[in-house]
Amino acid sequence: MSAAPTPTTAYDTAWSAAMRPWWHVVARSGDLPPGGVLPVRLLGEDFVLWRDERGAAHLNGDTCPHRGVRLSLGAVEHGCIRCPYHGWAFDGSGTCRSIPQLGHGRTLPGARLASARVHDDGFFVWACLADEADERGGVPRFEVLTTGTHWFWMGEPHDWDAQNLRQIENFCDVAHFSVLHLDTFGHESGQVCEPSRMTVEGRTIEFEFEVPVGNPNVPPGPDRDFGPGRFDYRVTLPCTVHLGGASGPGSVMFVHSTPIDVYRTRVYWGCAFPIGQYLDGESYAAVEAAIWAPDRTMVASQRPRGLPLQPTAELHLPHDRFALAFRRALGELGVPSSIPDPEETFRA
């Protein structure tokens, strides 16, 4: 994935600043073994994510201050990330520990990397770019995995050419199931719907929908059986969702929408299933991919690309109660509202 231009508009700058104090997933824990190195782009900045030999994860700026080489091309040695060009080595705090060209353990005071705090919960590696004093909300928890009743199936991350808040709103939009997803699990009779319950408390929004659904493993047609489906959502602002019931009784999907930059997103996801429940992972992944694909196309086409928070910016129906609550709560958290840009239609 190529790097996006540095944000230049007032909205881009304000939006990135609003997302900065929150924790975001930057990798799956299993993708970063001891000694592993990964390039990461978060909120328009390039980082190197690496794990030292003892298993601790670190996130640092990805540019060596000597000649600007990407440290994500380097390797982990003796608890440091080492630049592949001239061998300068930096620890997790960003302090330069070795400059081979100086010898005798000498370094330069100005040889430092930016560093960010990380948290590895065993499933995902999270990062927060703000200082601890400016952090908001803490690392979102996936409580069902602490009960001893469920096991976790990890999905493959996928990238969207869309803002992460637009993606979250799409994931929580049930009314489109009966229009866009007729080839997988939707049914025409679900077009008229609205949440049966919705509560807003702090940065958590919970709501339920009951709509008819079909078996996505059966092709559309008269042989496909439909029945009632219940979707229990819990959204932890700004961009984490737990969805109960969508993948079967007792299941809980996890989705976190990480902002690569203002208008690009990496979606990390998986699903917790009751212990003892069998899952054909390959079939499940194929079904979910078939569901995500048209959503990705629709959200990439939305204008303005940023989420407009003003209630009058778009039209709303009863099923949009979550969207209105979501946008209102984001505004209360200091997230700026996008406004239509007449030139946006013509941008690449």
> Residue 104 maps to which CATH number?
2.102.10.10
Show the tokens assigned to 75. 């390797």
Residue 348: inside a domain, yes or no? no
Q: What are phi and psi of 138, to 5 degrees?
A: 75, 175
Indicate whether 156 belongs to any domain: yes
Say if residue 196 is in the same domain as residue 105.
no
Q: Which residue, among 126, 142, 173, 178, has the nearest Cα to 327 in the 3D structure?
A: 173
How many Å apart are CA 266 and CA 163, to the nearest integer? Answer: 10
Same domain as 200, residue 66: no
What are φ and ψ of residue 15, in 5° steps? -65, -45
Residues 279 and 163 in one domain: yes
pLDDT bin (cut points 50, 70, 90) of residue 188 is: confident
DSSP string, 48-75: EEEE-TTS-EEEEESB-TTT--BGGGSE
Q: Which domain holds residue 110?
A: 23-134
Confidence of residue 46 (pLDDT cuts 50, 70, 90): very high
Query: CB neighbours of 132 closer than 8 A, spacing ≥ 6?
Result: 117
Q: Do residue 128 and residue 148 come from a single domain?
A: no
- Of 270, 233, 283, nearest to 158 by C-alpha is 270
Residue 76 and residue 185 in one domain:
no
**Whether 71 and 173 share a structural domain:** no
Do residues 162 and 305 lie in contact, with contact meaning Cβ atoms separated by under 8 Å? yes
Task: Count the Cβ atoms, other than its own, within 10 Å of residue 235.
Answer: 25
β-partners of residue 40 are: 47
Are 234 and 121 part of one and the same domain? no
Residues 245 and 279 in one domain: yes
**Is the pTM higher than 0.85?**
yes
Give me the number of domains the chain comprises.
2
pLDDT in tens, 303-344: 999 999 999 999 999 999 999 999 999 999 999 999 765 444
**Has residue 55 been placed in a domain?**
yes
pLDDT at 249 over 90: yes
Is residue 184 predicted with pLDDT exceeding 70?
yes
The answer to whether residues 105 and 161 belong to one domain is: no
Residues 93 and 156 in one domain: no
Contact 88, 82 (CB under 8 A): yes
Residue 339 within any structural domain of the chain: no
Task: For residue 11, tell me if it sits in a domain.
Answer: no
* Among 89, 113, 134, residue at a domain's last position: 134
Same domain for 234 and 86: no
pLDDT of 171 strictly over 80:
yes
- What residue type is 233 in one-letter code? Y
Q: Which among 83, 17, 71 is positioned nearest to 44, based on CA atoms?
A: 17
